[in-house]
Amino acid sequence: MYRRALSVLSGVTVLAACALSVLPHGEVRADIVPAADARPIAATAGATTPFVTVEAETGTLGGGARVRSITPGAAAPTAASLETEASGYSLVELKATGDSVTLPNSTGKNANTLVVRASIPDAPAGGGITASLNLYVNGVFRQAITLSSQQAWNYRGATTNPDDPRAGGMPYRFYNEFPVWVTGAPIAAGSTIKLQRDAANTAAVYDIDSVDLENVGAARTQPANSLSVVSSGADPNFVKDSTVAIQSTVNAARTQGKSVWIPPGKYLTNSLAPTPLDFTGVKVEGAGMWYTTIYRKVPLPANSWRSQILVGSGTTLTDLQIDANAIWRGIGGTGGSDYGINASGAGGWLVDRIWTRHIDANWLSGTNGIMRNSRTADSYGDGFNVNNGNTPSPDKLGRNITVQNNFARNTGDDSFATYSDAGASGTNGQMSGTKILNNTAIAPWWANGIRIAGGQNVEVRNNLVNSVSSNSALEISVFGDTGHPLESATVSGNVLIGGGGWNGVRHGVRIGSPSSTSLFPNAYTNVTMSDNIMRGSLRAGLYIDRTRVNATLTNNTIDRPAKQGIWIPTGVTGTGSFTGNTIQNLFPGQVATQNDSPATFKITG
């Protein structure tokens, strides 16, 4: 039963209840049922995807399987854990023979592929293990799925390398995603899948977070007026290196005014050439992200080896997957990591329907660029980072870049970010016009779900963030001491679930400002937030700190934060215009709004 408003404080209505439901394609609808004197709020947020995610903890448990989760309102974590890095902060543990979890195919259609997000233990000396897990359909054994921890289990602060469990570091990055083509007939709508630890499955424990179900259509066919990389000697069977053949095809297509076709297959790129693949000015198409893969097999330990794909003015890149054998973060470093897409150019570019895995970040700069309908998983850096290249180059201005309808999970830094860096001398131009629209960020294992770090006319609308492990669901501030001010940002219609993780004192949403040692010590952070839903933070729902902040909050809902609804600590200066906001489902002893800077941070509304 929904209750009437309990009180109104500084433009905040405190309510008692809300309902949150999951829509098809991973969208979330938050239906806020207000008191009679409060305005109703309804929001849809997140990417529309071709797959449906089923959380393991919603399934039926068998044997001695158990759910592990973070209890709402419990003390905030101080270290990474399997629970903090799980979507929904919850997972299913399969530890003994016969333990299982059964999930429905609730997609409404057949599913011929799965993506299983799971964790198995590291090897005692690091480097990971490989083990199978059995898949049943409608109770009948279908196939064994191969899982691995070779690209998981890094150790923060290790004294030797990030992959060494014996070097005193804190373990994190527990999960990996495992794409699976279903053997035999597709899994019919309404059928069940069961993941079961049988005697042949040798890992000591299997921690299952979620399963994506998708019906992948036929591979695309070669378009007209295109050059095939296979015709130039590229090997779709993953035997010989294809780097030179792919680049040669791109160069020929650029000269002839044609496009490039990468047929179905897995293409090895382990050339020690000092330059990465450069697709500038050419349309490059694959057969689909489940069919065409460019796989970077870095000779580990790597030594200044670069494997990114350069996208420049006039480039279109579509319908393929980029994967790598990288094992820890460091651009061009010993762990083998590098950018997925590195985009720049003053003439615009388009990246569409790309799946990047085990890369550092998709690094997006230039002018009038678009990245859409793509997904990234298990990255070592940001999922999608819009930036000005940390340079004054005219090809890297960071103007009018749009990131729309993308899906990021298990990223090793911000899932979605925009960084406007002035540089040490302040010569890099201010970014403007970044748009982060209708994206989904699930369970980043490091940093934030979304980060806005400086810029002009930034728009962050209708995104879904769920289950941030270390930092905040949304960070609104600047890029360190060299960051340009956040002159104007509009944040609207987002659903932000969780945040406030183990990395110091973090919160659901944080609004910050330049430090006194920055290049812009007198600048303010200016942000307007409207019609957002902030739910289930592990600390305060919304936190405003440092000094100079001008925040306009209108018709937002903060639901069930573990601590305060809104907290302004001591020493903050600026203004807060708060109108029509709702804070509800507070835990005992918590307050809706705590302003510890009443003389310097004035709240009106």
Closest CA to 445 of 124, 175, 221, 122: 175
- CA 530, 531, 537 angle in degrees (round to 5)? 100
Residue 31 pLDDT grade (very low, low, confident, very high; cuts 50, 70, 90): very low
pLDDT band at 516 (very low <50, low <70, confident <90, very high): confident
Residue 16, pLDDT score: 32
- CA dist 112 and 129 (Å) reads 27
Report pTM: 0.94
pLDDT at 306: 82
Instruction: Give the model's pLDDT for residue 44.
Output: 81
Over 90: is that where the pLDDT of 560 sits?
A: yes
Assess whether pLDDT exceeds 70 at residue 84.
yes
Q: What integer pLDDT is reported at residue 575 of this predicted model?
A: 97
Q: What is the pLDDT of residues 328-339, one digit of tens each?
A: 999 888 999 999
pLDDT band at 275 (very low <50, low <70, confident <90, very high): confident
pLDDT of residue 270: 87
Q: Is the dihedral of CA 458, 492, 449, 566 positive or negative?
A: positive
Mean pLDDT of 28-34: 30
Separation of alpha carbons 526 and 60, rounded Å: 47
Alpha-carbon span 410 to 476, nearest angstrom = 21
Tokens 């340079």 sit at which residue? 391
Does pLDDT of 3 surpass 60? no
pLDDT at 15: 40
Place of tokens 């083990």: 131
Q: Which residue has the tokens 């000591």?
A: 204
pLDDT at 29 over 70: no
At residue 28 the predicted structure's pLDDT band, cuts being 50, 70 and 90, is very low
What is the model's pLDDT at position 357? 98
Instruction: Give Cβ neighbours of residue 599 (< 8 Å, ≥ 6 apart).
Output: none
State both tokens at 219. Answer: 């591979």
Under the banding of pLDDT at 50, 70 and 90, the label for residue 273 is: low
Question: Average pLDDT in the 276-288 region?
Answer: 97
Domain locations along the chain: 1-48+456-605, 51-214
Over 80: is that where the pLDDT of 344 sits?
A: yes
The two beta strands, 28-32 and 19-22, are: antiparallel
Average pLDDT over residues 521-548: 96
Q: Report the pLDDT value the prediction gives residue 303, as an integer from 0 to 100.
A: 77
Class of domain 51-214: mainly beta
Whether 498 has a pLDDT exceeding 50, the answer reads: yes
DSSP structural state of residue 75: P
CA distance 266 to 457: 41
- DSSP string for 466-482: E--SSS-SEEEE-SGGG
Three-state SS for 587?
Answer: coil
Separation of CA 431 from chain center:
22
**Nearest alpha carbon to residue 339 among 352, 354, 324:** 324
467 has a pLDDT exceeding 50: yes
